[in-house]
Structure 1
Amino acid sequence: MSDETPGDPERAEEAKLGSEIADHSTEMSSILGDAYRGELDRETTWRSRLDQTTTWGVTVVAAILTWAFSSGDNPHYIILVGILVLSFFLFIEARRYRDYDVYRSRVRLFQQNLLADALDPSVGVEHEDWRSKLSQDYRTPTLKVSTWEATANRLRRIYLPLLAVLLVAWLFRITAFAPNENPLTTATIAVVPGIFVVAAIALYYIAAILIVLWPRERHAKGEFREGDPETWKEDEDDG
């Protein structure tokens, strides 16, 4: 007989045990408290991994800018190399953010429905079926946000400002450091004409801005948001 059959004695015993725990509020509170601390620790661990990637990105930008402007003989394209490196860090951080959001979403379920309700029972829980949602997520862990949403989030919060700094630095480098030359000539890299270099950079930044501004349904949970909380609720209901 398969382990998945409803008549399996072992599964029946497990279901009985789960039911007994659910019927005892003290045991359930203890289990939920331990689960919350565990998820909070995982969230903190992944948060530190995000911060490490950001720190490396800022460090690389600072080092490249320092070297690029230390001498007029240094090539301008080292700043473009910095853009490529920063894009690589963005890719890594977007992947880490998707994992981080798994644990953050669980922590937010605990906070919104268990802790908040314990502090003020008159309001009620945020999600009536939060225990079912959490149970399903423990049974089948899934990523909550897409790669596009994660990339847009990290671009908006961290990487787009850093990329903007590199863009301004590069434009300054090919203009102010060569005032008597055409910027398109200065932008030339080896056999690649400056016009193609400028066009590629322009397309890259336009794509980055579009990723940030492109409208999409929000799936990430637990971030600080500006504005009226009632507006958030309406937006979530509409979504």
Structure 2
Amino acid sequence: MSTENTDENCYNFPKDYAATMVHFYRGELGRMMIWRQRFDTTTHWAIIGLTGIVSFAWNHAESSNFLFILANFIVYLLLTIEARRYRFYDAYRARVRMLESHFIFPVVTLSNKRLEGNWRRQMGEDLILPSYKISFLEALSRRFRRNYIWIYMILIGAWAVHALEIRNANSVETFITEFCANQPLPEYVFLSILGLFYVYLGFLYLYGHWKRTALGEFQRRPSSGNWNL
């Protein structure tokens, strides 16, 4: 049999099988996009909440620092919610990418290049026992590096500028005092807790560079041109 005939027959799936897989792909793609919209919505909540709290704090100097502390807590809470939603999105995206790589790609290219391995078995096992593809910590890191790092930079910047301009801090000692005002803890305890929290955020940012396991995540194209799902 010629190579040309082999290529033409490699994607000749049974009619019912092909129709089922096409509907399955459309269903998984729809679920993936729904979860994508959900965690995008969480980002919008964080931006709107940050804008409202910062605006209110700048107009109420007597309680402003407490509001900035509250903003840090609320933004982190939304980050954890978004990370949970991202894990669902990533699980469905992994299925979509597997179908695109091993089922749709051979049809598009008239080639059996990707029709190998045990991808059907892996897909079947995931349908029976669905599982996350990345850890919660990695999901936190991805969402923080993508969006929330900028939200926290705006938040801490607005807090510092507020202490300098609105509360008229004209020296380092005065700046620290005004930065830590309107909260019950001693200054050194408060600054230590805040510093540890931002060190933790720095760890989240670096963790995304150390561990990359999300299937189908857009990354730099490998030089070899071969990548596996």
Corresponding residue for residue 215 of structure 2: 221
| Selected match of 2:223 from 221, 226, 230 | 230
Quote the residue 1:107 is aligned against.
96
Q: TM-score, normalised by structure 2?
A: 0.84
For 1:117, the equivalent position in structure 2 comes to 106
Counterparts in 2 of 1:1-239, with a 5 A limit?
25-122=14-111, 124-125=113-114, 128-177=117-166, 178-180=168-170, 182-186=174-178, 187-214=180-207, 216-225=210-219, 227-230=220-223, 233=226
Q: Secondary structure at the match of 1:189?
A: coil
Paired residues of 1:105 and 1:222 also in contact (CA < 8 A): yes
- Normalised to the residue count of structure 1, the TM-score between the two structures is 0.80
Is contact 2:164–2:175 with CA below 8 Å preserved after alignment?
yes
| Residue 77 (structure 1) shift | 2.5
Q: Is the 8 A contact 1:79 1:170 kept in 2?
A: yes
Question: 4+ runs of 1 displaced by more than 6 Å?
Answer: none
Identity of aligned residues (%): 27
The SS at the match of 1:230 is coil
Provide the rounded CA distance (Å) in 2 between the counterparts of 1:168 and 1:208: 15
| Cα 1:154/1:24, change in 2 over 3 Å | closer
- 1:22-75 alpha-carbon deviations (Å, 9 max, x no partner): x96111100100110111111111111111111111110111111122354452
How far 1:168 moved relative to its partner? 0.8
Q: Does the Cα contact within 8 Å between 2:42 and 2:78 map onto a contact in 1?
A: yes
Q: Please say if residues 185 and 194 of structure 1, whose CA atoms lie closer than 8 Å, have aligned partners that are also in contact.
A: yes
Deviations 1:1-35 (A, max 9, x none): xxxxxxxxxxxxxxxxxxxxxx9611110010011
Q: Structure 1 regions of 5+ residues with no counterpart? A: 1-22
- Greater relative contact order, per chain length (Cα 8 Å cut-off, separation 6+): 2
| CA distance, structure 2, for counterparts of residue 96 and residue 197 of structure 1 | 32
Letter in 2 for 1:88: L
- Secondary structure of 2:182's partner? coil
Aligned equivalents of 2:30 and 2:58: distance in 1? 42
**Aligned counterparts of 2:201 and 2:143: Cα–Cα separation in 1:** 11
Are residues 25 and 123 of structure 1, via their aligned partners in 2, closer, same or farther at CA, if it must alter by over 3 Å?
A: closer
- Alpha-carbon spacing, 1:216–1:37, altered in 2? closer, same or farther (3 Å): same
RMSD after superposition: 2.4
Cα 1:90–1:180 change in 2 (3 A) is same
User: How many residues are matched?
Assistant: 213
